[in-house]
Amino acid sequence: MEFLLANEVLYIQGGSITPGDEPGLIQRLVRRGAKVDPLDFVGQSKRTLRVEAADLDLGPELTREYPHLTLLTADGDPILASRRADGDHRVFVGKSELNDKALTIIAGPCAVEDSKILREITSGVQASGATVLRGGAFKPRTSPYAFQGTKLDGLRLMHEVAQEFDLPTVSEVVDPRDVEAVSDLTDMLQIGARNAQNFSLLSEVGKSGQPVLLKRGFGCTIDEWLGAAEYILAEGNDQVVLCERGIRTFEPATRFTVDVSAIPILKQRTHLPVVVDPSHGTGAKNLVTSVALGAVAAGADGLLLDVHTRPDEALCDGFQALSFTELAELSTRAQAVYEAARVAHISTSNVMQSAGAV
Amino acid sequence: MEFLLANEVLYIQGGSITPGDEPGLIQRLVRRGAKVDPLDFVGQSKRTLRVEAADLDLGPELTREYPHLTLLTADGDPILASRRADGDHRVFVGKSELNDKALTIIAGPCAVEDSKILREITSGVQASGATVLRGGAFKPRTSPYAFQGTKLDGLRLMHEVAQEFDLPTVSEVVDPRDVEAVSDLTDMLQIGARNAQNFSLLSEVGKSGQPVLLKRGFGCTIDEWLGAAEYILAEGNDQVVLCERGIRTFEPATRFTVDVSAIPILKQRTHLPVVVDPSHGTGAKNLVTSVALGAVAAGADGLLLDVHTRPDEALCDGFQALSFTELAELSTRAQAVYEAARVAHISTSNVMQSAGAV
Amino acid sequence: MEFLLANEVLYIQGGSITPGDEPGLIQRLVRRGAKVDPLDFVGQSKRTLRVEAADLDLGPELTREYPHLTLLTADGDPILASRRADGDHRVFVGKSELNDKALTIIAGPCAVEDSKILREITSGVQASGATVLRGGAFKPRTSPYAFQGTKLDGLRLMHEVAQEFDLPTVSEVVDPRDVEAVSDLTDMLQIGARNAQNFSLLSEVGKSGQPVLLKRGFGCTIDEWLGAAEYILAEGNDQVVLCERGIRTFEPATRFTVDVSAIPILKQRTHLPVVVDPSHGTGAKNLVTSVALGAVAAGADGLLLDVHTRPDEALCDGFQALSFTELAELSTRAQAVYEAARVAHISTSNVMQSAGAV
Amino acid sequence: MEFLLANEVLYIQGGSITPGDEPGLIQRLVRRGAKVDPLDFVGQSKRTLRVEAADLDLGPELTREYPHLTLLTADGDPILASRRADGDHRVFVGKSELNDKALTIIAGPCAVEDSKILREITSGVQASGATVLRGGAFKPRTSPYAFQGTKLDGLRLMHEVAQEFDLPTVSEVVDPRDVEAVSDLTDMLQIGARNAQNFSLLSEVGKSGQPVLLKRGFGCTIDEWLGAAEYILAEGNDQVVLCERGIRTFEPATRFTVDVSAIPILKQRTHLPVVVDPSHGTGAKNLVTSVALGAVAAGADGLLLDVHTRPDEALCDGFQALSFTELAELSTRAQAVYEAARVAHISTSNVMQSAGAV
């Protein structure tokens, strides 16, 4: 799907379309050569105008002149996330790179602890084929009395260890006031599920220009997730990776339900790399490998994995952390699955284009 | 339910209980005269210790000495939110008050617009029996291109108008860096659903000492909601009101599903006042009155309502805003329902105590 | 909302609209004076034709000539459930009646056990103001090894006891082959949540002509629920009562989440009486009263309640059963809330009509 | 996990444990050498006894003597579904077989239509590597006015065509009264999502001895799904295949959300083959291939796919049907992914056993 080509259909949606706006809006759209069709969707509380736009620049112009309108493409995608820039779409994390040409493994401890353990983990992770080190220093926890992470001390330690091993790092930032400090100590900023719609934080990491790993909120739709990405992209920062980590459902057998369909949907709607976190998504170590392989086969560009030297001793979420042996094996298998499935995706997307998807 | 009386059962829960901790932890608990019983719940990934505590101070001591543990009461409630201080539980908003002795109506426009409209609304709202004016100035929106609110200008305007009408105000704050400025211009800080687990913001409003209206995250459980309240309470700020505004479910007929059961659960588990927002909870003006009356009958201490002079002209969410006539009528009926249901709740809670509620 | 007046808008929806059909269909609709507008909804996989029908009989004719089409009103309601017959809408259960003019209490044991206990319960239930006795004899259980109910023996017992006390009865039927036998022994057939889309059973109870209490499936939308009602109504049986009993959500604090918004939605979309089952909806005795009062205030025409002489000895679900004292008190309070809220609903619906509800 | 070995832990769960039962029950368990420990789970309304059983036969004996109790293994699984018989676990469908040694493709039209189209589809499906033909004749539809399927005529046609092509068939049965007739015309009976807890139907297909494809209810937990399987197994019919077809969540981008984690959970908890239906699970043709490959990589033993000669002309769900080209390509890729992922699963399960999973 290409965004806003001539004659592209776009939707202007909102309770935000006031009767005051509408006639003027419709007139100017029509004057611009657009075909406008007001719709009342069944059970839809918002007014929506269906617009067959006559030229490429209509969208931005409308955003400028009607700042309170939401512009959506015919597929209901926000603007930047869905634009397919010419050439390829790559996100650079230090010397590593996330793209749709190779599988990237991001692994590390859920929480950064003491330096001995971290060195062991980093060495094991690197040996197992991971090219980015993840580690939690600022830990958002449901209870204020739960372990809150080692914060900046943990980040300094991770920075030091990562340099020894020459591995780029990703770590979570939870407060707009910390973005600069965290940016100095990590190569990629992670936005966690609980901050998935913390728009102040999203704009701040957008301004930072740092690459961002944006987790999906466990209560957020794909559209809301793309809206969150748009807050970063709208600041001129195009280095965004989307991370599916499970949504909340009625099924109690897993902590969350990994939404595997979200992977092909995102690969079709946006140019941003997509990774999956089966560790938090399942919350159970014995499900991680299967769900990880499933995600890769479904089109994920990478995996985010909890790993620990002694899972049972982890300061948090040890029960879902893989051992080095398990990580090494998973990397090998995931690579094999990636290659086996890849051809399928290429040809599928062809089929898709001809078939005119969704 | 009283918290941590002698012989109270408490749970110490967490992947955060490391094998290193456990023996020492159990020993010291036993030495303190507690009966300890490690449990492995079916399908529960966390280790949990069931502790029959021998004395009142055990909880805080454990928090101090094992900072990474989560302490829960026998009902699984976090600590402060579930403590029932002696005497009554009141939250003061300017000259108004929220408590469990009377029904409070909080009403106003979803978004603060121009001063003429705001004066009309404030006057109408006051005439209709509302004792607190709500108005959105910082608007978290799914898309960065949607109307983001009138921000500090809107707050200054609302402050000025509210003073003319001598009505206290509540408005949303979305960034920890704005807490001071917003506190200067409003009587109560609102934490919106998208920031329900923005822990930096929660701690900051906790430190501010301002009364807080804490909305439930639409993807959050009641336990997570109480955990969020705990972040505010843990800063020494006990002026917290909980606001149910609907959770996300598979039902597409409403924007969200108002969780009416949450009302009695919260009234039983915590001493904090509970209000309900049927405007955002349903997203449909013709459902607001019925759901509002239902919430009041189920035990809500107050209502948060979208109102507008000309709903169709509202800059956002006009389709769910009530007119003055509708608000006035709703206030009258809600008052009648409140009184009719109230006796029931008093005697129910007696029954409950004798029955020993779940 | 009236169904299919001249110029009523209706939707013809379906992957079931084949390209073969469509041109011919559109032509004949246009010939009949209708304005037809094919829509492609965002993210909607089904083709839909929006039809401004020129005359009243178009709907039935289309059903006849295009049997594989689904006809929906402008509000997306199925046909019969949404038709408001002239006069009032009453469902007769023996000598009792469910309607929108008075509150009906249906109460009894979750499972029919021995005759002594059943007599005690029936006597207590009647004394507490219930006008219909409910009792489970065929119990659908998740496990085949769980207690499956006392079946026909239980029904015979309930029939005998109910006659002594001159109370009409409602009991569940789970197999189309049992409909006749169950009909002989009860005054109203209950369709449980697990059979909410068991269409063979629905058609069979429709043919039986017996009044039907149709529970909502815990995984079903309101539209699917109305579709299920339509299966009964389409057999010429208009004696259908809808029973909200909670839907499945991510919230673990209650067994299900009672969808309070469904009550006003159903009262607006259909003429069928609506009752609520807070016992199964919450699964917790100490939440039943509050949720019941909430349901009544939100517009429910009745309540379905689990009651037991000695809740702790109930063969199933005792933990959610009310004692007689609790039932008696609930009846009184519910009556008071019903009256207090009622005026609101009448005037709201006026407001609604003038406001032209979503 | 093995079921009920000596010293196996089992749980006896239920509001169904009456005070009357309990002392006697505990005594007899203790006399039988079991260690019994009553538990009160946080927020659990049911009493549960944790039993360390001293001998293999305790479970069945308890079922016999306390028919209203539910016996669960230490993992909370129902009995038969979780028993791992010695040797391998195979389900025979005509000359085909579903097992965990090879990938099975089941494909065909959502609805059986005229014989020409069906022959084309069957020929295409067979050429594309499918070894079982699926086709819907009894179609459960939300509305009674929607196309209800070609019923027995359709089945006769499918039977005739399948014999010509020497392909075994699977088709849905929706009424216990039809089980015999449908069994005569198909090789495998499908239980659809809407009948996933239609226990009369489940018992009937159990008695029939026919192989059964049991779809998950879109509102059912994995435990409920296994309970449904148990109804079939308990009739002595061990030829059951589980089919994941998506659950209902708040995400509107797909019709349902395929629960990919359910695949490894089922492979660990039960010996029954697991297949996935990405056609109904996503409801969108351009997502089917990716989700199918994901399911296979996650451990699925087979796929159930909608296929049509001219998807746009399908009487229902054409929008999700694959063309022959797409099916052929999917089969090839799925086979490659199956082999690449397989090694992973074998070694994972080893890791799992050593790690002592779930």
**Residue C26: how many other CB atoms lie within 10 Å:** 18
Token reading at D169 = 């068939």
- State the average pLDDT for chain B: 81
Chain-chain contact of A176 with B176 (C-beta, under 8 angstroms) = yes
- Considering only CB atoms, which chain D residues are within 8 Å of A252? 221
Q: pLDDT of B264-312, one tens digit each? A: 999 987 889 999 999 999 988 899 999 999 999 999 999 999 998 876 5
- Provide the β-strand partners of residue B35: B52
**Contact in structure between C264 and C116 (CB atoms under 8 Å):** no
Neighbouring-strand partners of residue B72: B11
Burial C47-78 (b: 16+ CB within 10 A, else e): bbbbbebbeeebbeebbeebebbbbbbbbbbb
CB contact under 8 A, C145 and D197: no
> Residues of B with CB below 8 A from C223's CB?
253
Output b/e per residue, A237-264; b: 16+ Cβ within 10 A.
Answer: bbbbbbbbbbbbbbbebbbbbbbbbbbb
Does position A47 have pLDDT exceeding 60, yes or no? no
What are the C-alpha distances in Å from D277 to residues A246, A257, D300? 20, 17, 10
Helices (H), D186-307: 199-208, 222-233, 262-269, 278-282, 285-297
Task: Report the percent of chain A where pLDDT is more than 70.
Answer: 68
Q: Report which of residues D12 and C80 the model is more confident about.
A: C80
CA-to-CA distance for C259 and B281, rounded, in angstroms?
Answer: 11
Task: Give me the pLDDT at residue C83, please.
Answer: 55
**What are φ and ψ of residue C149, in 5° steps?**
100, 165
Say how far apart CA B88 and CA B100 lie, in whole Å: 8
Dist. CA C87–CA D2, nearest whole Å: 64
Beta-sheet pairing, B169-172 with B188-191: parallel
pLDDT class for D2, splitting at 50, 70, 90? very low
**Residue B122: pLDDT over 90:** yes
The alpha-carbon gap from B50 to the nearest alpha carbon of chain D, in Å, equals 10
Top pLDDT among C244 and D29 is at C244
D220 shares contact with chain C (CB less than 8 Å):
yes
Please indicate whether residue B218 or residue A45 has the higher confidence score (pLDDT): B218
Least confident of A290-294, B196-200, C107-111, D200-204: C107-111
Q: Which of D124, C338, C264 is nearest to B289 (CA)?
A: C264
Query: For residue C213, what are its two tokens?
Result: 């209490």
Query: Which pTM does this prediction carry?
Result: 0.84
What pLDDT does residue A89 have?
82
- What's residue B213's pLDDT? 98
Q: Which pLDDT value is given to residue D357?
A: 31
Residue pLDDT, tens place only, B198-240: 999 999 999 999 999 999 999 999 989 988 998 999 898 999 9
| Distance, CA of D93 to CA of D190 (rounded, Å) | 12
Is residue D87 classed as helix, strand or coil in its secondary structure? coil
Using left for φ > 0, alpha for ψ between -120 and 50, and beta otherwise, residue B332 falls in alpha
| CB-side neighbour CA atoms (13 Å) of B88 | 10
Q: Which whole number is the average pLDDT over A311-340?
A: 83
Residue A108 and residue A142 in contact, taking contact as beta carbons nearer than 8 Å: no
**Residue D183 one-letter amino acid:** S
Among chain A residues, CA nearest to D284:
A358
Element at C154 (helix H, strand E): helix C151-165
Minimal Cβ distance to A250: which of C41, C45, C250: C250
Beta bridge partners of A70: A13
Q: Output the pLDDT for position B76.
A: 55
What pLDDT does residue B348 have?
45
**Which residue in D82, D260, D287 has the most chain A C-beta atoms within 10 A of its own C-beta, making it the best mutation to test that interface?**
D260
Q: What percent of chain D has pLDDT over 90?
A: 56
What's the full length of chain A, in residues? Answer: 358
Decide if pLDDT at D319 tops 50: yes
Domains and CATH numbers, chain B: 2-76 (3.10.28), 91-351 (3.20.20.70)
ipTM for the predicted complex comes to: 0.82
Question: A147 to chain D, minimum CA–CA distance in Å?
Answer: 22
The arithmetic mean of pLDDT across residues B101-119, rounded, is: 92
Q: Distances in Å between the alpha carbon of C31 and those of A194, A314, C35?
A: 56, 73, 10
Compute the distance between CA of residue B172 and CA of residue B157 in angstroms, rounded to an integer.
15
The most confident of the ranges A24-28, A125-129, D145-149 is: A125-129
For residue B209, how many other CB atoms are within 10 A of its CB? 13
| φ/ψ of residue D332, rounded to 5 | -60, -50
* pLDDT given for residue D255 in this prediction: 92
CB A340 within 8 A of CB D336: yes
- Closest residue in chain B to residue A197, using alpha carbons only: B194
Least confident of A28-42, A85-99, A187-201, C260-274: A28-42
Query: How many DSSP H helices and E strands does chain D contain?
Result: 12, 14
Nearest to A125 by CA among A155, A166, A156, A69: A166
Q: Give the C-alpha separation, D174 to D214, whole Å.
A: 12
DSSP-assigned letters across all residues of D153-202: HHHHHHHHHHHHHT--EEEE---GGGHHHHHHH-SEEEEPGGGTT-HHHH
Higher pLDDT pick, A85 / D326: D326
Q: How many C-beta atoms surround the C-beta of residue A86 within 10 A?
A: 4
pLDDT in tens, C133-148: 999 999 898 877 666 7
Q: What is the mean pLDDT of residues A28-45?
A: 55
Residue C23 is predicted with a pLDDT of: 60
With beta carbons less than 8 A apart as the criterion, state whether B316 and B333 touch: no
Please state the rounded mean pLDDT for residues D322-332.
94
> pLDDT tens-digit profile of D262-294?
999 999 878 899 999 999 999 888 999 999 999
Is the pLDDT reported for residue C152 higher than 90? yes
pLDDT for position C259 = 98
Helix (H) or strand (E) segment spanning residue B233:
helix B222-233
Task: Please report residues of A whose CB lies closer than 8 A to that of D274.
Answer: none
Q: What is the 3-state composition of chain D as percent helix, strand, coil, each rounded to the nearest 5?
A: 40, 20, 40
Give CA–CA dist C58/C55, Å, rounded.
6
**CB-based contact D246:D254 (threshold 8 Å):** yes
D322 CB neighbour count, 10 Å cutoff: 26
Residues 6+ apart with CB under 8 A from A80: A230, A233, A234, A238
| Residue A209: count of CB within 10 angstroms of its CB | 13
Q: Which residue of A has its CA nearest to C13?
A: A42
* Rg of chain D taking only CA atoms, in angstroms: 22
Rounded CA gap, A139 and B200, in Å? 11
Measure Cα distances from D280 to A5, A247, A264, C158, D303 in Å.
32, 20, 16, 43, 12
Cβ contact (<8 Å) for D314 and C224?
Answer: no
Span B48-67, average pLDDT: 56
Q: Check pLDDT > 60 for residue C155.
A: yes
Quote the mean pLDDT of chain A: 81
Interface test with C, best of D63, D65, D138, D142 (most C CBs within 10 A): D142
Class of residue A90 by CB neighbours under 10 A (exposed 0-12, middle 13-18, buried 19+): middle
Whether the CB-CB separation of B296 and B338 falls below 8 Å is answered with yes
| Range with lowest mean pLDDT among C317-321, D3-7, D256-260 | D3-7
Average pLDDT, chain C: 81
Facing residue for C319 by CB, picked from D45, D141, D144: D45
- Give the model confidence (pLDDT) of B58-96 as tens digits: 555 565 555 555 555 555 555 667 655 444 689 999 999
Q: Give the residue with greater pLDDT, C341 vs D16.
A: C341
Confidence of residue B327 (pLDDT cuts 50, 70, 90): very high
Q: Averaged over A234-262, what is the pLDDT?
A: 95
Instruction: Annotate chain A with three-state secondary structure.
Output: CCCCCCCCEEEEECCCCCCCHHHHHHHHHHHCCCEEEEECCCCCCCCEEEEECCCCCHHHHHHHHCCCCEEEECCCCCHHHHCCCCCCCCEEECCEEECCCCCEEEEECCCCCCHHHHHHHHHHHHHCCCCEEECCCCCCCCCCCCCCCCHHHHHHHHHHHHHHHCCCEEEECCCHHHHHHHHHHCCEEEECHHHCCCHHHHHHHHHHCCCEEEECCCCCCHHHHHHHHHHHHCCCCCCEEEEECCECCCCCCCCCECECCHHHHHHHHCCCCEEECHHHHHCCHHHHHHHHHHHHHCCCCEEEEEECCCHHHCCCCHHHCECHHHHHHHHHHHHHHHHHHHHHHHHHHHHHHHHCCC
Q: Does C356 touch chain D (CB under 8 A)?
A: no
Tens digits of per-residue pLDDT, C191-224? 999 999 999 999 999 999 999 999 999 999 998 9
Cα C56 from Cα C76, distance rounded (Å): 17
Which pLDDT score is estimated for C353? 41
Closest CA to D231 of D267, D207, D211: D207
Q: How far apart are CA C251 and CA A249, in angstroms?
A: 9
Q: How far is CA C63 from the centre of its chain?
A: 25
Say if B261 is an interface residue toward chain C (CB within 8 Å).
yes
pLDDT at A269 over 60: yes
Measured CA to CA in angstroms, residue A48 lies from A2, A63, C228, D182, D213 at distances of: 21, 15, 31, 48, 43
DSSP-based helix, strand, coil % in chain B, nearest 5: 40, 20, 40
Report pLDDT for A223: 85
Q: Please give the pLDDT value at position D270.
A: 85
Chains near D with 3+ CB pairs less than 8 A apart are A, B, C
Q: Tell me, rounded to whole angstroms, the distance of Cα A132 from its chain centroid.
A: 16
State mean pLDDT over A305-313: 79
Q: Smallest Cα–Cα separation from C141: which of C187, C96, C178, C110?
A: C110
